[in-house]
Amino acid sequence: MPKRVDHGERRGEIAEALVRVAGRRGLHAVGMRDVAAEAGVSLRLVQYYFETKEKLLLFGLEYLAERFGERVAARVRAAGPSPGPRATVEALLMAALPVDEESRTFHLLYTSYAVLSVHDRTLAAQPFIRNPDAAEEVVSELLRRAHESDRLASGLDPRLEAAGLLAMSAGLGTSILVGQRTPESAAEVLTHHLDRIFGARDGDTCAHDTSAHDA
Amino acid sequence: MPKRVDHGERRGEIAEALVRVAGRRGLHAVGMRDVAAEAGVSLRLVQYYFETKEKLLLFGLEYLAERFGERVAARVRAAGPSPGPRATVEALLMAALPVDEESRTFHLLYTSYAVLSVHDRTLAAQPFIRNPDAAEEVVSELLRRAHESDRLASGLDPRLEAAGLLAMSAGLGTSILVGQRTPESAAEVLTHHLDRIFGARDGDTCAHDTSAHDA
DNA sequence: GATTTCGTGGTACGAACGTACCATGATGAT
DNA sequence: ATCATCATGGTACGTTCGTACCACGAAATC
């Protein structure tokens, strides 16, 4: 046999090219030729490693979700050794906010895929719809743990609060994306809401400044 | 002069056709010919009333926002005569959730436009980006009024709470849209959050049942 | 050394899309 | 009655896109 190329690696490079060009020009404006040019390969090669555009897009979504999952996990780990529930949740949600180019791209493409999935059965069946469910499970569990150690505000349903928290975070992310809100004001809204969910009394590794508190 | 047709009315009909077909097949899959067929006119007529596709899409967005604004306003009015702040806010947010076909379409298309606006300067300059700002102003003002009449939970910043509330509502809407959450569970999350913002003690014209309260 | 198979390139084809062009009733002003 | 003008239809053009087809070099197996 000839050259023996690692298909997985090559597919990853092409998928990354897809994500880059889609983040730059929008997913709707991305064609096979654009991806090929961005990856520095010929159109034929993109066809070779992904038979069809649909499969390329599907793999791109996988790739995107995986990369972003790693990012969030890294940010949570960076929150310090054995952080409290509050710090963990805060790191999780803050890492998901579109503040830099990478997270902006993720938010944009994820939303694009979500919109497409409404009328595309193949996309709708993709696990990216289970990803938020997993996140909700994690946050819910963290809140439950905080509740048991009595670090939660009184009478809160961890499951409902987790759902609300994630929805708010996603909504704030979209607001940032379209330029309606600055990352700072979004973070402020989120922090205040966390203050109310948790007692807002414990330090808990978290450090948000009380200065500069206006609109 | 000949026939004299009301351009505004005709443009409205075509825009409605655009919204219908876009809601059915997705905004990305809509072409001039589809809109023409849906409106029951020739392709040439769509060109005649909207010179270009871009202008058609722009007008479609206007049309969409206007229609939905009216819908929300109607729902708020239907909340009863001189409703309290809680009932008003609740009616507002609940009316925005994608529970029926009309609101589903609105959410879907609004999100589609938002995604497009990230890389389209003309769309980004459109007033639909100011619409959420207006909503935030309204909710913020309602919360402020509730705060002054002491019907708000202690120590809440109306502006921040309004922002968080709308972001959560939007996020929940997206969750419903992609099928991750049922309208009922989303409403439950929203209601609980409202319970915590308001004292959860006043009847305030609102009636949410305390039965059937599980997942 | 011959051959089979993998990786790669170039290119062509058919479809769809937005837009432009040309034509033609119908109607109100002159 | 004539004519300019509005509304409308049909259609053709150029482009772009996804996909299919054909060709060739290189390397590992026999």
| Segment A81-97, tens digit of pLDDT | 888 999 999 999 999 99
Say if residue B123 is in the same domain as residue B31.
no
User: Quick one: CA torsion of A197, A202, A208, A214, rounded to 10 degrees?
Assistant: 60
The C-alpha atoms of residue A91 and residue A72 are separated, in whole angstroms, by 8
Q: What's at B174, amino acid-wise? A: T
CA distances from A153 to A130, A147, A150, A200, A207 (A): 29, 8, 8, 9, 19
As a rounded value in angstroms, the CA-to-C1' distance for B36 and C28 is: 29
Neighboring chain A residues of B27 at a CB cutoff of 8 Å:
115
Say if residue B25 is in the same domain as residue B129.
no
Q: B75 to chain A nearest CA, in Å?
A: 22
For residue A202, pLDDT over 90 is answered with no
Nucleotides of D under 7 A from a protein CB: 4-11, 16-21, 25-29
Say if residue B114 is in the same domain as residue B174.
yes
Say if residue B29 is in the same domain as residue B72.
no
Domain-embedded: residue A174: yes
Say if residue A5 is in the same domain as residue A85.
no
- Dmax (CA) for chain B in angstroms is 67
Say if residue B112 is in the same domain as residue B11.
no
For residue A106, pLDDT over 80 is answered with yes
Say if residue B162 is in the same domain as residue B76.
yes
Say if residue B94 is in the same domain as residue B168.
yes
Residue A8, classified by CB atoms within 10 Å of its CB into exposed (0-12), middle (13-18) or buried (19+), is exposed
User: Which residue positions in chain B have pLDDT lower than 50?
Assistant: 202-215
Q: A2 to chain B nearest CA, in Å?
A: 42
- Domain holding B25, by residue range, is 1-51
Counted domains in chain A: 2
* Closest residue to C25 (CA, C1′): B2
Q: Count CB-CB contacts under 10 A for residue A5.
A: 9
For residue A205, pLDDT over 80 is answered with no
User: Quick one: CA torsion of B201, B207, B208, B209, rounded to 10 degrees?
Assistant: 100
Domain-embedded: residue B91: yes
Say if residue A116 is in the same domain as residue A33.
no
In chain B, positions 119-148, which contact chain A (CB-CB < 8 Å)?
119-120, 124, 129, 132-133
pLDDT value of position A209:
42
Q: Do A119 and B170 touch (CB under 8 A)?
A: no
Say if residue A99 is in the same domain as residue A141.
yes
pLDDT tens for residues A107-131?
999 999 999 999 999 999 987 767 8
> B85 with B140: CB under 8 angstroms?
no
CB contact, 8 Å: A114 with chain B?
yes
Nucleotides of C under 7 A from a protein CB: 5-11, 16-21, 25-29
> B46 with B16: CB under 8 angstroms?
no
Say if residue A70 is in the same domain as residue A164.
yes
How much of chain B exceeds pLDDT 70, in percent?
91
The C-alpha atoms of residue A4 and residue A107 are separated, in whole angstroms, by 36
pLDDT value of position A201:
52
Q: What is the CATH number of the domain that holds A101?
A: 1.10.357.10
Q: Which two tokens stand for residue A8?
A: 């997985």
As a rounded value in angstroms, the CA-to-C1' distance for A206 and C25 is: 76
Say if residue A72 is in the same domain as residue A168.
yes
